[in-house]
Amino acid sequence: MLHVKNIALGFVAVVGFVIAVMFFGGSMPGLLGGANGLDIDGAAIPHDGPTSPLWRGWAHYGGDAGGNRYSNSDSIKSENVRELKIAWEYKTGDLGRPEKTVQRSASEGTPILVDDALIFCTPYNEIIALDPATGDEKWRYDPQINLDMEPANQFVCRGVAHWRDRSAPRDEDCASRIFMGTNDGRVISVDAISGDLCAGFGDGGIIKVDPGLDLLWPGEFQFTSPPVVLNDIVIVGSSISDNARVIAPKGAVRAYDARTGASKWIFDPIPRSADEDNIDDWKGQSLPVEGHANVWAPMSVDEARGLVFLPTSSPSPDFYGGLRPGDNRYANSVVALNGETGAVVWSFQIVHHDVWDYDVPAQPGLYSVWRDGERHDVVAQVTKTGLVFVLDRDTGEPFLPIEERAVPQGGATGEVLSPTQPFPMLTPPVVPNTLSADDAFGVTLWDKNACVKAIKNSRAKGLYTPPSEQGTLLYPANSGGANWGSAAFDPARNLLVVNMSNIVHHVQLIPADEVAEVEKVFHDSEVSPQKGAPFGMKREVFLSPLGLPCNTPPWGVIAGVDLSTGEIVWRKTLGTVEELAGGLKIKLGTPNAGGPIITAGGLVFIGAAMDNYLRAFDVETGEEIWKGELPASAQATPMTYEWNDRQFVVIYAGGQSRMGTTLGDSIIAFALPE
Between vectors from CA 399 to CA 398 and to CA 401, what angle results, nearest 5°?
A: 60
Distance from C-alpha of 285 to C-alpha of 307, rounded to nearest angstrom:
34
Distance from C-alpha of 401 to C-alpha of 390, rounded to nearest angstrom:
8
Q: Which helix (H) or strand (E) covers residue 447, if one does?
A: helix 445-456
> What residue spans of 295-345 are helical by DSSP H?
none
For residue 61, list its beta bridge partners.
Answer: none
Candidates 534, 546, 444; CA nearest to 18 is 444
Which SS3 state, helix, strand or coil, does residue 477 take? coil
Q: What is the DSSP string of 594-631?
A: S-EEEETTTEEEE--SSSSEEEEEETTT--EEEEEE-S
Between vectors from CA 508 to CA 270 and to CA 416, what angle results, nearest 5°?
A: 45
281 is catalytic: no
Q: Which helix (H) or strand (E) covers residue 301, if one does?
A: strand 300-302
Between vectors from CA 636 to CA 107 and to CA 7, what angle results, nearest 5°?
A: 80
Q: Report how far Cα 483 is from the mean position of its chain's Cα atoms.
A: 3
User: Cβ(65)–Cβ(304) under 8 Å?
Assistant: no
Distance from C-alpha of 43 to C-alpha of 103, rounded to nearest angstrom:
43
Burial class (CB in 10 A: 0-12, 13-18, 19+), 58: buried
Q: Which helix (H) or strand (E) covers residue 453, if one does?
A: helix 445-456
Q: In sequence order, what E strands does 483-547 have?
A: 487-490, 495-501, 505-511, 526-528, 535-541
Catalytic residue among 357, 359, 562, 618: 357
**End-to-end CA separation in angstroms for the chain:** 40
Q: What is the DSSP string of 370-428?
A: EETTEEEEEEEEE-TTS-EEEEETTT--BSS-EEEEE-----STT----SEEEEESSSP
> What residue spans of 457-533 are helical by DSSP H?
515-521
User: Cβ(188)–Cβ(133) under 8 Å?
Assistant: no
Dihedral of the alpha carbons of 549, 552, 554, 558, in degrees to the nearest 10:
-100
| Cα Rg of the chain, angstroms | 23
Distance from C-alpha of 327 to C-alpha of 76, rounded to nearest angstrom:
48
Q: Burial letters for 554-575: b for 16+ Cβ neighbours within 10 Å, e otherwise? A: bbbbbbbbbbbebebbbbbbbb
Candidates 606, 572, 611, 565; CA nearest to 591 is 611
- The phi and psi torsions of 99 (rounded to 5 degrees) equal -55, -35
Distance from C-alpha of 608 to C-alpha of 606, rounded to nearest angstrom:
6
Give catalytic residues, as residue numbers. 357
